[in-house]
Structure 1
Amino acid sequence: MKKQFLLILFVFGFLTFSLAQKKRITLEEIWGGAFRTEQMDVLRSMKNGKQYTILNFGSIPQSSSIDKYDYESLEKVETIVASSAIVPFFTSYEFSEDESKVVLATEIEPIFRRSRLGIYYVYDIASKKLIKISETKIQEPTLSPDGSKVAYVLNNNLYVFDIASRTTKQITTDGERGTIINGVTDWVYEEEFAFVRAFEWNNNGTKIAFLRFDETEVPHFSMDVYGQNLYPFQYEFKYPKAGEENAKVTLHVYDVDSGEISNVDLGGAYYIPRIKWMNNPDHLSVQTINRHQNDLKLHKVDVKDNSVSLLLQEKDEAYVDVDDDLTFLENDSFIWTSEMDGYNHLYLYKKDGKLKNQITQGPWEVTSYYGYDQSKDKVYYQSVENGSINRDVYSISSNGKNKERLSSKTGTNSASFSADYTYYINTFSSATTPYEFTLHKVAKGKRMKDYNQDNELISKGRLIKDNSDLLNKLEGYELVPKEFSTINIDGNDLNMWMMKPADFDPNKEYPLLMFQYSGPGSQQVANKWFASNDYWHEMLVSQGYIVVCVDGRGTGYKGRDFKKVTYLNLVKFETEDQIAAAKKLSELPYVDEKRTGIWGWSFGGHMSTNCLLKGNDTFEMAIAVAPVTSWRFYDTIYTERFLRTPQENPGGYDNESPFNYPELLKGKYLLVHGSGDDNVHVQNSMRMIEALVQANKQFDWAIYPDKNHGIYGGNTRLHLYTKMTNFIKENL
């Protein structure tokens, strides 16, 4: 008995000693970049399918290069161009269709989430000549298919630059800030339809199709910029809030030879979220969708006479998602993704728009579409067939047969294919393995093998790059794994992960901190490598907290009905699920039910605020960063997709708006916002603050001057996470 006691004491002592030897993660390390992962930046396959290019940044500051590598050997073949005394430092690149030229981006200046201004150059690979496109910063320069011209946008007008003659032709003249935009999107299209360049060359370079936005009637939004000068100034832009006027968007076609612009009549289409040329250079595909976003149409425009015909129409009782999966095959039949059978799957249509067959099917979702190899009749895609928290790469014939799983490791796999689909580079990570990049031959999905000059096998696989150095570094830190499981709430099995302290004792009680985002179609419970918040959660766990994340109803990758159950009642069911999950977790013997907190950012900030108020008997603390507090303040496209307009559905907007019930606040509340948030305006927090003040409720808050929705820059993130850490320590 004494020996057994000594053994237990020894094991406990060894555990304590080993933990004492481990370092704990610090905020300074997280936000100082100590745990950055190695990546393959801007990976592109060359058209020959034999080589690929990578954007590499040198050890010398402000140095970059485009390097070409051989798939078969993985050896660097050449440096196509590198920054030098002649070539300025560049941060992205785009090849012409024939790969004779490349556009280099320099002096990039962000506008909003995706839009950029910059000084751009065309680099001629054969002659090694560098040509500046414009002396002024421009947007979205795009080479014509033959590499002879560059189309771009400057001051809301479309231009074409002729490389040989070095001359520029202005295509549109009516562009004006706050009124007319040609060739790039307005704020709400950029944010919610996720694209900026609203013009496209056809495949022989004879036509440019472009969108024109008339935002004259869109209400102005302004925010103060405090800056460094004596007086602040107001930054104004057009922002259509739910129920307000959107820009009137029209489609036009520019003929390069004649210089004429023609108008395409789409019959009063409300939104035009995608345009894409077909393989026939005279045929343009156009997607339109109504304001409720539940009636999506795919049109074909014959630009010889601008006649319009309907190829496909898809309706949904809730909404139809817009994506970039549409792919035209050689004969202009096409591949399309849809949730029509209850899950997101691939479909094959004839060129006249008639359905030929469903390619993938089953109670799981296709999450990415990679492409189609016509020569082998193979479709390549990523899906969650191996569990909704995992991702795998598959191939399948266009008739839906001969499906093959190409990836092999359980976790998150994604693929970048060579142009001829001979090879692909697999990116893998899991909750315990940082990113690995491996080369595979498509034929069997196997990792390629290394041989020496005598054709002797010397390696089991073709590893291109991994993060073993990071893993070795993390060996010295006190880290715990995420424990993946599900929690049943009202008959729904919700995905969950939990992190417990390394010296976890089931006989002790620990405070519980929940993290979530919860937005429609989103996912936080995923078997993939750490994001910055995961390191922060590890830090909190090392200080004695249990951290949990639950993906409730409305989140993604579990089918249409699970995702769209929140339609017209955004945040209601999501809040109920988090409160119910917290109550259930509080029943665990090692969770202190009197110390339960929740935090989130953006949609998640709305959620954490609602949970603290509506679940005031469950949560003692909440942190809300950049929260929506009323969907009346958010933009048309996102909000009306899920709620319709405030005029049609006032209850859906107001019943879950926390500043309408501030008297429910009992626990500790920290509210954070950036004053320069162009997305979720600081107005949301100001209205919440005023409601709490008038209800005489005490709380903590912080405003970060001129910071946008990401709240970063300099020491900002370090300061923010220090504040949140201290708030948790003091109140949980």
Structure 2
Amino acid sequence: MKNRLILVLVALFMMSSLGYAQEKKEVTLEDVFKKGTFSQKTVRGINWMNDGQFYSSLINNQGYTQVVKMNLATGEQEELLLDGKALGVNFQSYSFNGDESKALISTDVESIYRRSSMGVFYVVDMESGTKTELAEGEKISYATLSPDNDKVAFAKQNNLFMTNLSSGETTQITEDGEWNKIINGSADWVYEEEFSMAQAFKWSPDGKKIAFIRFDESEVPEFNMQLWGPLYPQDYKFKYPKAGEKNSDVSIHIYDLASGETIRVDAGEETDIYLPRIYWTRDPNKLAFIRLNRLQNQLDLFHADATTGESELIISESSKTYVDLNYNDDLKYLADGESFIRTSEQDGFKHIYHHAMDGTLINQITQGNWEVTEVVSIDEEEEKIYFISTEQSPLERNLFVSGFDGKGKKILTPLEGTHTINMSKDNQYFIDYYSTTEKPVTVTLMDAKGKEVTVLETNEALNETLTSFSLGQKEFFTFETVDGTELNGYMIKPADFDPNQKYPVLMYVYGGPGSQNVVNRWGGSRDMWHQALVAEGYIVACVDNRGTGARGRDFKHSTYANLGKLETVDQIEGAKYFAKQSFVDPGRIGIWGWSYGGYMSSLSLMIGNDVFKAAIAVAPVTTWRYYDTIYTERYLQTPRLNAAGYDENSPINHVNKLKGNFLLIHGTGDDNVHFQNTVDLVNALITADKQFETFYYPNRNHGIYGGNTTWHLYTQMTDFIKRKL
């Protein structure tokens, strides 16, 4: 009787366990795009306070934004610094001036392009709590408090202005700003997109001067987009320099507040150049700036006298391919006034260098076959530098500290995964935003030695939610192509994967220069969509082709002057690798991508017509002749110098090879990769008598979002994959 009872209990336990296992849910499109089931929490709007013992954070309290002061030692809220309800302004962003006596807040913020915006700004006196509205409530851009706490500079309608907070008087610094002609203190479209800049002015350290960049785009060709909706569609015209066309004439100017005079900085006689960066040194009379030639294979660092505008060449770096500004953009001038820190990939990998003010190299701080991805902070008193690198693996990002002499290097975030760091002003603490492919972000306050102080966000609820879903794990792997190139990849198999089955494979690609998809970090909604496909019985996979980042200059620059060729070879090699796996159906391999990835998926389906059955291209470049000067010419030179590089790997010129199923998607309001790309590819496909599917999203930009758009887009792509793969 006792044994029978035990058997019954065991059976009940097994049935209960089986029932529990069966309770695991599969990811659905509704979970990802409708319900927000996998929404990730984080800690945003953090600013470190001057005393080093507190930081401020932006929170939402019952529908109103607030800025609270947090105690580092206790992890508790110490004080309410800004209250949107009390101010009568539900602000979206904030910043403090140097001594934290004033705050700048903005509301009603409206995006212009990818990085530019305008909004209504207020200055708040932290002692009295009173607020001062700037520009009489007109929308302005990039309002910035002066270092001496008494003035605010901002851009409005292509001109630069300054308001004296004591007197309330506003001075118009420039007068010639005009839409589609002259821009002062703000970047033009192509600088904003490709040099990652929108604000183009900076206060001097003493608050007595303002340096700014002026763009004369009068001769830049105009692009016209139609905005659909009214009875008669509206034309939207803006200056967009396509490859080989005229760029803005750029110049650097310095405005002196005391005299009201503006001088022009000497940047050399050549005018067909780029001036993508201005920096003030610690000397308020010395401005630094970077100059690039049109082909971007020579980068020069200058120092200029802020009184006369005379300049001196400090460092010049050239390359047979290109000098990537993104790898030379960590310029930090030290308080001693005698030296500066910069990064460069001149030895084949991005590393940190210490120079005297005249450009003389003091020493190379980091070195090895790995890359510094960011200089986080510099402790000048201790002569230490904090940086993020790929030393552990190209798939990881970890925080390290090293002496200025390159000695004593130590890892501070040893956990495998991706660490994004926000360091305190006194370098005593940092906030670590850490994630892996399996774990959403954890936000932790750490001391400078890498010891945990307190956890600010665990995403406990999301982690608990994830345990209730049947998820495939992202498995990393490497393989060799036929020419011996080793490539990194990942694949996600169904949770109930059966090695004896034959699965269809959908490859995901971006593949552009310096990019990286195969990395150990939380992937967000796009990865969760992939999980929804995995739940439907697909394997989702990805390969980082030649030209992608984190593996050194030679690997990245291997695609120079011939974009698309080696990348497509590598994606096809990846598909062939998957086709050889015993659990893959070689007749059902597809590929999808967005932007550069759409360019890649189009080429892969056409050139690799014997391995790919289907492809989706979202907002693709279809000919580099239609894309902008800065990005395209960096990698291909100009169309006049390298016509073959532009045409031989254009999908438009390979339409005759199309055999598989093709879905082409684009937003008609795409200011970045113009809808024109898709229109011309459609024309070429029709001429070649090729059947395909296409869909356009009216007035949507490059991101194709807004309202029900994202849901509609991914539902459509899912349906296509189910029908065709």
Q: Tell me the TM-score range normalised by the shorter chain.
A: over 0.9
Q: Helix, strand or coil for the counterpart of 1:547? A: strand
Q: Deviation digits for residues 355-406 of structure 1, max 9, x if unmatched?
A: 0000000110001111210111100000011110011100000111010101
Match of 1:459 in 2: none
Q: Deviation digits for residues 417-475 of structure 1, max 9, x if unmatched?
A: 11101111111111111111112211x22223xxxxxxxxxxxxx22211111010111
Letter in structure 1 aligned against 2:357: K
Question: Structure 1 residue 350: deviation in Å?
Answer: 0.7
Match of 1:245 in 2: 246
What does 1:169-188 correspond to in 2, within 5 Å? 169-188=171-190
Match of 2:541 in 1: 548
> Residues 696 and 10 from structure 1, CA distance in 2 versus in 1: closer, same or farther, beyond 3 angstroms?
farther
Question: Structure 1 residue 12: deviation in Å?
Answer: 12
Letter in structure 2 aligned against 1:164: S
Separation in 2, partners of 1:92, 1:431: 30
What does 1:59-70 correspond to in 2, within 5 Å? 60-61=62-63, 63-70=64-71
Match of 1:311 in 2: 314
Match of 1:451 in 2: none
Question: Structure 1 residue 699: deviation in Å?
Answer: 0.5
> Residues 141 and 514 from structure 1, CA distance in 2 versus in 1: closer, same or farther, beyond 3 angstroms?
same
1:295 aligns with 2:298: yes
Match of 2:364 in 1: 358
Q: Helix, strand or coil for the counterpart of 1:581? A: helix
Question: Structure 1 residue 220: deviation in Å?
Answer: 0.3
1:395 aligns with 2:409: no
Match of 1:706 in 2: 699
**Which region of structure 1 is more displaced relative to structure 2, 13-22 or 555-564?**
13-22
Question: Structure 1 residue 118: deviation in Å?
Answer: 0.5
Identity rate, percent: 47
Q: Deviation digits for residues 667-686 of structure 1, max 9, x if unmatched?
A: 00000000000000000000
Q: Deviation digits for residues 500-554 of structure 1, max 9, x if unmatched?
A: 1111111110001100100100000110112211000101001100110110100
What does 1:16-95 correspond to in 2, within 5 Å? 20-32=22-34, 33-58=36-61, 60-61=62-63, 63-84=64-85, 86-95=87-96
The runs of at least 4 aligned residues of structure 1 exceeding 6 Å deviation read: 9-16
Separation in 1, partners of 2:549, 2:251: 32
Separation in 2, partners of 1:512, 1:211: 49
1:325 aligns with 2:342: no
Letter in structure 2 aligned against 1:186: D
Question: Structure 1 residue 102: deviation in Å?
Answer: 1.1
Match of 1:103 in 2: 104
Question: Structure 1 residue 249: deviation in Å?
Answer: 0.2
Q: Deviation digits for residues 630-653 of structure 1, max 9, x if unmatched?
A: 000000000000000011100000
Given the alignment, which residue of 719, 722, 725 partners 1:726?
719
Q: Does the CA contact (< 8 Å) of 2:38 and 2:462 recur in 1?
A: yes
Match of 1:427 in 2: 433
Separation in 2, partners of 1:118, 1:10: 63
Given the alignment, which residue of 455, 464, 469 partners 1:472?
464
> Residues 391 and 15 from structure 1, CA distance in 2 versus in 1: closer, same or farther, beyond 3 angstroms?
farther
Separation in 1, partners of 2:14, 2:615: 35
1:487 aligns with 2:483: no
What does 1:195-594 correspond to in 2, within 5 Å? 195-227=197-229, 229-267=230-268, 268=270, 270-323=273-326, 324-332=329-337, 333-442=339-448, 444-448=449-453, 462-489=454-481, 490-594=483-587
> Residues 728 and 18 from structure 1, CA distance in 2 versus in 1: closer, same or farther, beyond 3 angstroms?
farther
Q: Does the CA contact (< 8 Å) of 1:50 and 1:418 recur in 2?
A: no
Q: Helix, strand or coil for the counterpart of 2:710? A: helix
Q: Helix, strand or coil for the counterpart of 1:140? A: strand
Q: Helix, strand or coil for the counterpart of 1:550? A: strand
Separation in 2, partners of 1:10, 1:188: 67
Q: Helix, strand or coil for the counterpart of 1:709? A: coil
Q: Helix, strand or coil for the counterpart of 1:496? A: strand
Separation in 1, partners of 2:125, 2:485: 58
Separation in 1, partners of 2:100, 2:216: 36
**Which region of structure 1 is more displaced relative to structure 2, 667-676 or 66-75?**
66-75
Q: Helix, strand or coil for the counterpart of 1:235? A: strand
Letter in structure 2 aligned against 1:531: G
1:166 aligns with 2:159: no
Question: Structure 1 residue 414: deviation in Å?
Answer: 2.1
Q: Does the CA contact (< 8 Å) of 1:156 and 1:175 recur in 2?
A: yes
Separation in 2, partners of 1:662, 1:354: 53
Q: Deviation digits for residues 209-265 of structure 1, max 9, x if unmatched?
A: 0110000100000100013x2221010100000000000000111000111111112
Separation in 1, partners of 2:104, 2:132: 9
Q: Deviation digits for residues 298-349 of structure 1, max 9, x if unmatched?
A: 0000112222111111111111121431000012311110111110000000
Q: Deviation digits for residues 152-206 of structure 1, max 9, x if unmatched?
A: 1111000001112212111110000010000000000000000111110001111
**Which region of structure 1 is more displaced relative to structure 2, 139-148 or 616-625?**
139-148
Q: Helix, strand or coil for the counterpart of 1:661? A: helix
Separation in 2, partners of 1:271, 1:348: 25
Letter in structure 2 aligned against 1:205: G
Q: Does the CA contact (< 8 Å) of 2:222 and 2:239 recur in 1?
A: yes
Letter in structure 1 aligned against 2:303: K
**Which region of structure 1 is more displaced relative to structure 2, 93-102 or 190-199?**
93-102
Question: Structure 1 residue 13: deviation in Å?
Answer: 9.4
Match of 2:4 in 1: none
Q: Helix, strand or coil for the counterpart of 2:214? A: strand
Match of 1:692 in 2: 685
Q: Helix, strand or coil for the counterpart of 2:85? A: coil
User: What are structure 1's unaligned runs of at least 5 residues?
Assistant: 1-8, 449-461
TM-score w.r.t. the length of structure 2 is 0.96
Separation in 2, partners of 1:632, 1:239: 12
**Which region of structure 1 is more displaced relative to structure 2, 722-731 or 49-58?**
49-58
Question: Structure 1 residue 14: deviation in Å?
Answer: 9.3
Question: Structure 1 residue 408: deviation in Å?
Answer: 2.1
Separation in 1, partners of 2:689, 2:279: 55
Match of 2:145 in 1: 143
Q: Does the CA contact (< 8 Å) of 2:505 and 2:589 recur in 1?
A: yes
Separation in 1, partners of 2:83, 2:712: 37
Separation in 2, partners of 1:554, 1:425: 32
Q: Deviation digits for residues 679-707 of structure 1, max 9, x if unmatched?
A: 00000000010111111111011000000
Q: Deviation digits for residues 539-576 of structure 1, max 9, x if unmatched?
A: 10011001101101000000000000000011110000
Match of 2:7 in 1: none
Q: Helix, strand or coil for the counterpart of 2:241? A: coil
Q: Deviation digits for residues 474-503 of structure 1, max 9, x if unmatched?
A: 111111110111121121221111111111
Match of 1:126 in 2: 127
Q: Does the CA contact (< 8 Å) of 1:331 and 1:351 recur in 2?
A: no
Separation in 2, partners of 1:393, 1:710: 31
Letter in structure 1 aligned against 2:556: K
Letter in structure 2 aligned against 1:715: N
Separation in 2, partners of 1:171, 1:121: 20
Question: Structure 1 residue 75: deviation in Å?
Answer: 1.2
Separation in 2, partners of 1:318, 1:170: 43
Q: Helix, strand or coil for the counterpart of 2:400? A: strand
Separation in 1, partners of 2:539, 2:146: 55
Separation in 2, partners of 1:520, 1:193: 14
